[in-house]
Structure 1
Amino acid sequence: MRVNERVTVRWALTALAGATLVACGGGSDPSNDLPQGIKEISATVYPATTVGTGATAATQDLLTGGIGKTGLGAAAAPAYADPANPTAAELRRNALFSNYRGILDYTAKGGYGTLYGPNITAEGQVTASEGLIPGREYLAVLDDGSGRKQTVIAVQVPDSFNTSNPCIVLGPSSGSRGVYGAIGTAGEWGLKKGCAVALTDAGKGVGLHNLADDTVNKVDGTRATRTAAGALSFFAANLTDAVRSAYNAAFPNRIAIKHAHSQQNPEKDWGADTLAAGRYALYVLNARYGTADNPVPFTKGNTLVIAGSASNGGAASLRAAEQDGEGLIDGVVASEPVTEMPTAAGYGIQFDGAAVAGYGKTLAEYTTWGNIYQPCAALAADAAINETSIYNYIALTAMTARATARCDGLAAKGLVSGATTQERAADALAKLRAYGWNAENNTMHNAHYALGNGPILSAMYTMAYGRFGADANLCGSSFAAANATGDVIAAAPTALAQSAATANGTANGTPATVIYNDSVGGAKSWPFAVSPSTGVADFGLDNALCQYALVSGKDPVTGAALTAASTPTKAQSDAVRSGVAEVLHNANLRGKPAIIVAGRSDALVPVNNNARAYAALNRAVEGASSKLRYVEVMNGQHFDAFLPFSGFDTRFVPLHPYFNQAMDVMWAHLKNGAPLPANQVVRTTPRGGTAGAAPAITAANVPPFAMSPAAADQIGFVGTSISVPR
């Protein structure tokens, strides 16, 4: 046995404390040192090659949790032996299930099993295999000494890892997801290639502190009281027992959420955390395969490293490359990344030969702006949807009266013009277009708002940026479970027990949603909120205006600067604005090859504020030496997981095949010197048909991007502006 390899396959943190995992040597001999800030938690063999229950480590694999391609695509999640007390192994299995499906379309009609999935080989061959990938998983936590950062890293080393051809794929999680948030993107692609995969939650993840009973998630997903969890607590709000008790008495049944309430502003460290995951992966490989004669066989110089992920994970990958002064990362693939533009100056965007007016806004800016105007804009004639579907969610769920009330409230405050709802809605839609959304997004504001994106992100990110505690009630907002009429209720114990596997790290209702404490008549969840200033149910207009004020520093109605006596206060806004300043990108990829893939129809992360803007600024920063390539996919939008929904199925195509193609192209470029593709628009064909019954997708719907696209599809640069064809 090699001297660095672990003797046991699973051990406790206490056992690790006394273990020495460095190669012995004197003088300047190389040693395999655990990276700074890392605490190792466990190493576990997941040996399964055939489908089973996945209830134990012995019946699991790295990718599917032992349930295979069929299990990941099943109608129901795997069952727990005791739903009220799931084991860590069961939670891991179900977390893989939910995270895989949380970012991909898991339906056969949508392409699962034919265009992508565990049964597709690394070479793209469709097989009858269940796609299990056995190997070892090394779980660790990165902390800054406070005990509140607690970034989780999982390094997966497949049995197929080739020591003669070493490679690592860095997979920071998308959204606010936990450590398995990139399992379906970076994870699956890397494991199939035989690479080690370094997954990380980048300081986010499912950390739910139930303030009523003081229970928390542990690093392994199980729950315990904060005291019992101790050092293995994943997140606990920074409140004394006295403060927590007083807050719970005034605001019962509230839940603190790690991304919002860790007081760490985790987004500022997404790049650094991704790099730390890469360093830990090298350490793991050297500990596993090093010998007395060669204790550090793997280095950044001889190991290929690709950072690749989607959404916030794509952002983390880009930030890691920007910050990679040590030369760890060789290439980057970012799908639909949030790029947090530092400026709108020094570059521009042209579409179809015309200058785009609104671009280069930060997530905080356009999310809180959209949260004000989207429900009203959804009623505009240009946003009309004449079908019964989830895509027409406002009508489907009887929210039209509340959306109309939002238009009325905006008009009364002078924030939209027009005498009729149609005129007001048209003005609201125009304001969104001027703020970075495009015509392809017109009908998308309906479901994107009504499914909760605006209210959730506007509440969570302002709290996170400003480092506000769980008791701050910023803009009168908090998080809790709610009943069907929006009243705050206690979260179900079973829902909390299973939360590590079912929740996605946001206040999406699993189990906590956004609560507006100041709703007239008592606290209500956001869809039912009655604004004090209007006295009607309007989705909490007052809260939305407050959240935008935090970002802008001004009262959005009067335009006056915030003061110590305003709501919100100037100090609160200053804190949020300082936090936003910490997360800005610089668009300098240090000459590294990179591919950004984005959907033109992305309504959550609009391309004018993100992918297009980043590509333009990168060109201004790195000039003609830039190795960034931009691929814009027509009929692509942010959530592949929405594609099974009625109305989404007929209109949009998945982005995931283009992520996989970009990873393949990047691999060929780094390994064999193959060229990178030209910047381009990919013209896809939606499935069409009837909402909820779209025909099955075929490869013809999603043609691959070309290495040398036709002239009409090429994205170019005119001066300092990126020029995107229609």
Structure 2
Amino acid sequence: MSNTGATPVFEQWRETEHRGNDDLLTAGLGLEGLRSGTAAAFASPASPTAGEARRRAIWSSWRGIADLTPGGGFGDVYGTVQPSPGREFSAYARIPGARQPHRVLVQVPDSFDPSRRCLVVTASSGSRGIYGATSVAGSWGLAHGCAVAYTDKGAGSDYYDLDAKVGFQADGTPAKRGTLGFAPEGGAGAHGVAFKHAHSGDNPEADWGRHLLQALQFGLQALDRAYPRSAPFTPANTRTLGVGVSNGGGAVLRAAEIEGDWFDGLVAGEPNVSVAGAPPLYDFVTQAALLMPCALLAIDDLPQPPVQAQTRPAGIQRCAVLASTGQVQGADTEAQARSAWQQLANAGLSEPALRAGAFSTGFDLWRAIAVTYASAYGGYAAGKHPCGYTFAAGHDGRPGIATPEVRAAWWSEASGIPPGNGVILLDGDPAADQLPGLACLRSLWTHDGAAAERVRAGIARAAVNPPRSGLPIVVIHGIDDGLVPISMTSDRYVPLARNAGARIAYWRVANAQHFDSLLAFPDYRKRYVPLLPYMFAAMDQLWEHLEDPTRGLPQDALITPTPRAEAPMQPAQLSIPAASSR
């Protein structure tokens, strides 16, 4: 990727102070408040204040990413939730040519020392809102006295009610007018709900690296404002560390392509990246959406939830329908399940990854992801999905009208990809076991036609390229990852990077799947370990090397930790690798 370092213009600057019972890291909730299963109530449920919206967004982001259960280790063995008073600067940024802006935000702790200036730059995981990486980059960066710059990378929770014509302002409060975080174009006549990842028309994944770079640039400008006597803050005089998980990890590796000494080091956890010339993740996701409900019947002792007894009838039905259309072979359910399993194995999915994929299957994540990404890759407006999918306010699969109370919480609580939070995904043919819609999604990769060519062109634009030479990078991935399989992403990216001469360390972690938050369930913590401790350890080691180059960089490691089950996590169980000695 060529140098895209022209200074962008940031719009709708806001500066807010967060001290006392409203800090940067937990909005005053602390560990106990973050652990609470109930969000702090809005005083007026339909009209939250900016502070209430922010507090709930931080609560939701922590709970969606980190394992905060007692004994899980967060705050004791790794990470911190210690209050961090300071200021926030936020604005809208725009990639040249983009239809919609992305949010950028910088947290500047009071502990920031301009004489030891440092900036951690991050992008939200998944399609989450602007606070989506707080538990990762915020926890580490603020504790080290660094400013932390965030981007929602063109996705996020700026939903828009097409019927009420209500979106969200810069401060997270609902509004009909003004400068909204997302106001869809080209959706005339559409009804229901639009959201930025699917309906911006911008194919945000293709620009994840540039989103991250703009967050870095915004961070430097925010520091100029925060400490004008110490300005200018530049990459040459400010240590910069990029970090992200999942889609945020993908953004980090896309930023590594950009020419120029913008970053001093990068840490990418379970990155969603597709390498040109290899099948993209969309290929796997659409296969999984079709085949995995059937394939999981070939595996015993799946993690719960979902409860296997509850998902089995749907799996049997899926096997039968797939067999009737010739997509799996076998005279009975057992044989059909093995056929589906073998197809996924041939695509590169390991049995541990398939086992962990039971969660995504049981909670319909494959379909939700495939629908959203097909729309994004093709640049389709709301109501124009090539496979007839739409999104609407509703409950239990029945569309309705969003109440002001439900709508008011979208910005704070939504994951950025429905269904959830009072928004449902509607299939064009809901009575047909989802198969026609899923087959259509699959055909956008496997068949010809205008829609397929349009989607495949968007997928090609999102392919990762090698990083610039000399940039220290650590890639960390769970071997049991069932959502972003290691064999289809990091295992392909690391050789690509090394062939280009990258300084890269690769940590493969056994017994780690994609979602640390699932360790709240007893069956998951008996099987799996969290991935975030390795993110913190890699940042520590990279930081120590940048502080003192005589300390070695992280090195390749195959890590074999031990799940804690019901006992408190002990540091030795994690088997954190040491950096090389020099």
TM-score by length of 1: 0.77
Code of the residue aligned with 2:569 in structure 1: it is I
CA distance in 2, matches of 1:581, 1:636: 29
CA distance in 1, matches of 2:558, 2:79: 25
Shift of 1:35: 3.4
- 2:579 equivalent in structure 1: 707
- 2:284 equivalent in structure 1: 366
- 2:464 equivalent in structure 1: 585
Q: After the TM superposition, which residues 102-501 of structure 1 pair with which residues of structure 2 at under 5 Å, given as runs?
A: 102-119=64-81, 131-144=82-95, 148-225=99-176, 228=177, 230=178, 232-239=179-186, 243-244=188-189, 247-248=190-191, 254-291=192-229, 295-296=231-232, 298-323=233-258, 325-344=259-278, 361-380=279-298, 383-385=299-301, 389-390=304-305, 392-395=306-309, 398-484=310-396, 486-501=397-412
- 2:505 equivalent in structure 1: 629
Aligned partner of 1:505 among 402, 416, 434: 416
Code of the residue aligned with 2:400 in structure 1: it is I
- 1:77 equivalent in structure 2: 39
CA distance in 2, matches of 1:168, 1:295: 14
Code of the residue aligned with 1:493 in structure 2: it is P
Code of the residue aligned with 2:353 in structure 1: it is N
Which structure 1 residue ranges, 4+ long, deviate > 6 Å from structure 2? Answer: none
- Give deviations 1:215-264, integer Å, cap 9, x for gaps: 11222211112xx2x2x211122146xx33xx33xxxxx21111000001
Aligned partner of 1:677 among 554, 560, 577: 554
Shift of 1:479: 1.3
Q: Give identity over the alignment, percent.
A: 36
CA distance in 2, matches of 1:665, 1:457: 34
- Give deviations 1:320-354, integer Å, cap 9, x for gaps: 1111x12111100001101111124xxxxxxxxxx
CA distance in 2, matches of 1:61, 1:35: 30
Compared CA separation, residues 434 and 636, structure 1 to 2 (3 A): same
Compared CA separation, residues 482 and 384, structure 1 to 2 (3 A): farther
Shift of 1:145: 7.4
CA distance in 1, matches of 2:115, 2:56: 34
Shift of 1:502: 0.9
- 1:95 equivalent in structure 2: 57
Shift of 1:46: 1.0
CA distance in 2, matches of 1:300, 1:368: 41
1:643 aligns with 2:519: yes
The answer on whether the counterparts of 1:115 and 1:699 sit within 8 Å (CA) in structure 2 is yes
The answer on whether the counterparts of 2:295 and 2:341 sit within 8 Å (CA) in structure 1 is yes
Give SS of 1:379's match. Answer: helix
Shift of 1:174: 0.6
CA distance in 2, matches of 1:549, 1:686: 40
CA distance in 2, matches of 1:649, 1:83: 35
The answer on whether the counterparts of 1:142 and 1:149 sit within 8 Å (CA) in structure 2 is no
Shift of 1:117: 4.3
CA distance in 2, matches of 1:42, 1:146: 24
- 2:27 equivalent in structure 1: 65
Shift of 1:144: 4.8
Give SS of 1:475's match. Answer: coil
Code of the residue aligned with 2:491 in structure 1: it is R
Aligned length: 576
CA distance in 2, matches of 1:480, 1:366: 27
CA distance in 2, matches of 1:146, 1:589: 25
Shift of 1:148: 3.8
Aligned partner of 2:483 among 604, 614, 625: 604
Compared CA separation, residues 677 and 239, structure 1 to 2 (3 A): closer
- 1:28 equivalent in structure 2: none
The answer on whether the counterparts of 1:148 and 1:235 sit within 8 Å (CA) in structure 2 is no
CA distance in 2, matches of 1:144, 1:676: 33
The answer on whether the counterparts of 2:8 and 2:94 sit within 8 Å (CA) in structure 1 is no
Code of the residue aligned with 2:341 in structure 1: it is L
Give SS of 1:75's match. Answer: coil
1:515 aligns with 2:431: no
Q: What runs of 5+ residues in structure 2 fail to find an aligned partner?
A: none
Shift of 1:155: 0.9
- 1:543 equivalent in structure 2: 437
RMSD, aligned α-carbons: 1.9
Shift of 1:93: 0.8
Shift of 1:617: 1.6
Code of the residue aligned with 1:699 in structure 2: it is P
CA distance in 2, matches of 1:34, 1:611: 30
Code of the residue aligned with 2:9 in structure 1: it is G
Code of the residue aligned with 2:530 in structure 1: it is P
Q: Which region of structure 1 is more displaced relative to structure 2, 181-190 or 430-439?
A: 430-439
The answer on whether the counterparts of 1:34 and 1:283 sit within 8 Å (CA) in structure 2 is no
- Give deviations 1:453-496, integer Å, cap 9, x for gaps: 20110100000000001011331211123433x22232343121
- 1:523 equivalent in structure 2: none
- Give deviations 1:66-120, integer Å, cap 9, x for gaps: 222222222322222122211111110111111011110111132233223434x
Code of the residue aligned with 1:302 in structure 2: it is N
The answer on whether the counterparts of 1:339 and 1:610 sit within 8 Å (CA) in structure 2 is yes
Aligned partner of 1:43 among 1, 5, 15: 15
CA distance in 2, matches of 1:34, 1:138: 21
The answer on whether the counterparts of 1:99 and 1:181 sit within 8 Å (CA) in structure 2 is yes
The answer on whether the counterparts of 1:35 and 1:283 sit within 8 Å (CA) in structure 2 is no
CA distance in 2, matches of 1:386, 1:464: 32
Greater RCO (CA < 8 Å, at least 6 residues apart): 2
TM-score by length of 2: 0.95
CA distance in 2, matches of 1:311, 1:589: 21
CA distance in 2, matches of 1:675, 1:155: 30
Shift of 1:513: 2.7
- Give deviations 1:142-187, integer Å, cap 9, x for gaps: 1257784211111111111111111000011111011111111011
Compared CA separation, residues 147 and 328, structure 1 to 2 (3 A): closer
CA distance in 1, matches of 2:63, 2:319: 35
CA distance in 2, matches of 1:146, 1:80: 38
Q: After the TM superposition, which residues 540-579 of structure 1 pair with which residues of structure 2 at under 5 Å, given as runs?
A: 540-552=434-446, 554=447, 562=448, 570-579=449-458
The answer on whether the counterparts of 1:322 and 1:590 sit within 8 Å (CA) in structure 2 is no
Give SS of 1:378's match. Answer: helix
CA distance in 2, matches of 1:665, 1:272: 26
